[in-house]
Chain A
Amino acid sequence: MDGPFTTALSLIAAGDAALLQIIGLSLRVTLTAVVIACVIGLPLGAGLALARFPGRGAAIILFNALMGLPPVVAGLIVYLMLSRSGPFGDLALLFTPTAMIIAQTVLILPIVVSLSRSVVEDLWAEYQEQLRSLGAGRVRAVPTLLWDGRVSLLTGVLAGFGRASAEVGAVLIVGGNIAGHTRTMTTAITLETARGNLGLAVALGIILMVLTLTLNAIAWGAGQWARGRLG
């Protein structure tokens, strides 16, 4: 009998259709969630850094704590929201890729918010008087600071991607691991391992790690390039 590694390599080499479909869905779900989390989280984090309001400290603590939110709990919350009897049950989103995107956005958002808050807060300390002198108020400073912090922020976005692509609990609960529909790399690994189908599980594991490594290498390279280029 072939070992799991042999199976893995032959599956990858053959470009197995089911395998490609699983990889494609995983990337689509996670990347969409990352984009949504950035669109919401970057301005929110920057706003949290610059705004002064009662309860700001509590909000910061909350987002920091949510970075450690267990994916299964995030999945459960989204499940309750989207289930037939939940507040958004009418949308019939449960067990669709959309539900998985929502759940992963919930997981990534706190990372993006907390990191951009911390990056923007540090930059603001350095830039505040200069920007005020040039004529930028706090609101106008937000895009400026996000842009000037872009290299550091990339790290946070990447951490978000890492968290989402690695998690299995949330997508399993709200997606249901339906073959050809909501099966991702991580849920497939879980299933195939339980079935004793180690070849496919290892193949997926290898691909997942290669993807993560590649993405991190690109981001690191981009960061190094930008540091040298932008100072």
Chain B
Amino acid sequence: MKPAHDLQPAILPLRLDRASYAVGGTTLLAEISLSIEPGRRLVVMGANGAGKTLFLRLCHGLIEPTAGSRIWANGVARAAEQAMVFQRPVLLRRSVADNLDYPLALRGVPRAARRETVARTLDRFGLSVMASRPARLLSGGEQQRLALARAWAMQPQILFLDEPSSALDPSATRLIEEMIEGFSADGITIVMTTHDLGQARRLAQDVAFLHRGRLIERAPAGTFFAGPNAHEARAFLAGDLIW
């Protein structure tokens, strides 16, 4: 399938300009500046509590920077052509097909086009056999695949993924990674967090390394894994505790 964003105004690159996020005087993200380029797979790494999830939520527009700014290329505050898959995605208490249909209906896609997109999405991700099953009763791996399929059906230009396979076994994880690579092949820009170093090595084209809410390293994957500059990142790769 051709990604529909050939027809839409480009929302990328997404730029963060010294974006910070603070709650009650505690700075959780500090002056992050970076540009997310279209068509790349960026993996956000860092220890627990480094601010990876917050970073995704900030980019996605679920939270607003308390200082600095987030700028989409088309100038809007929160672009519609983006999607996010949460670490624990919420599936609605309805069938698999209806879960795919729901965000399309929210976007005002006409019924006939929705039915076609849903069918194509089910087919592409091998979910057709479970189309009418209640989404909440799927296995963990199936639920995660549905969550990714739901995001794909929205035809986003950029997709944020928060620990997309953190609770899955290796075979389910491989399916998820194949899906992510497929998205990438469709031209969807990927920004994802993972604590799985192997997964980061397999999927990353670029790496952003966060440490205590700061972006301390941003490099192409090859350079980063060969030897990052920041000693916290080196320690992280070596498996040391960096507190």
Contact = CB atoms under 8 A, between A and B. Distances in A.
Nearest to A226: B93
Contact of B137 (A126, A130, A231): A231
Nearest to A145: B92
B164 to A, nearest CB: 14
A230 B96 CA distance: 11
A230 B86 contact: no
Interface residues of B, number: 22
Given A129-B62, A132-B62, A135-B107, A231 B93 contact: yes
A56 interface: no
Contacts of A85: none
A52 interface: no
A192 to B, nearest CB: 46
Contact of A127 (B90, B94, B103, B134): B90
A148 interface: yes
B86 A129 contact: yes
Chain A binding site: helix, strand, loop or mixed by DSSP?
Answer: helix
A141 to B, nearest CB: 10
Contacts of B182: none
Interface in B63-91: 80, 83-84, 86, 89-90
A139 to B, nearest CB: 12
B136 interface: yes
Contacts of A132: 62
Contact of A134 (B93, B102, B134): B102
B93 A230 contact: yes
**Interface of B, helix, strand, loop or mixed by DSSP:** mixed
A126 B91 CA distance: 10
Contacts of A140: 106
Nearest to A126: B90
B89 A130 contact: yes
A134 B78 CA distance: 12
B60 interface: yes
B83 to A, nearest CB: 7
B135 interface: yes
Contacts of B136: 230-231
Nearest to A132: B62
Q: Which of B62, B92, B102, B137 has the most CB atoms of chain A within a 10 A radius of its CB? A: B92
A140 B108 CA distance: 12
B89 A134 contact: no
Interface centre among B60, B83, B90, B94 (most CB of A within 10 A): B90
Interface in B85-136: 86, 89-90, 92-94, 102-103, 106-107, 134-136
Interface in A127-183: 127, 129-136, 140, 144, 147-148, 150
Nearest to A129: B62
A132 B84 CA distance: 10
Interface in A112-135: 126-127, 129-135
Contacts of B89: 130
Contacts of B83: 133-134
A229 interface: yes
Nearest to B99: A134
Contacts of A127: 90
A148 B95 CA distance: 12
Contact of A130 (B86, B107, B134): B86
A230 B134 contact: yes
When A and B form their complex, which 3 residue pairs have the shortest distance between CB atoms, in order from nearest? A231-B136, A130-B90, A134-B103
Interface of A: 126-127, 129-136, 140, 144, 147-148, 150, 229-231
12 contacts: A130-B90, A133-B83, A134-B154, A135-B80, A136-B106, A144-B92, A144-B102, A148-B92, A229-B134, A230-B137, A231-B135, A231-B136
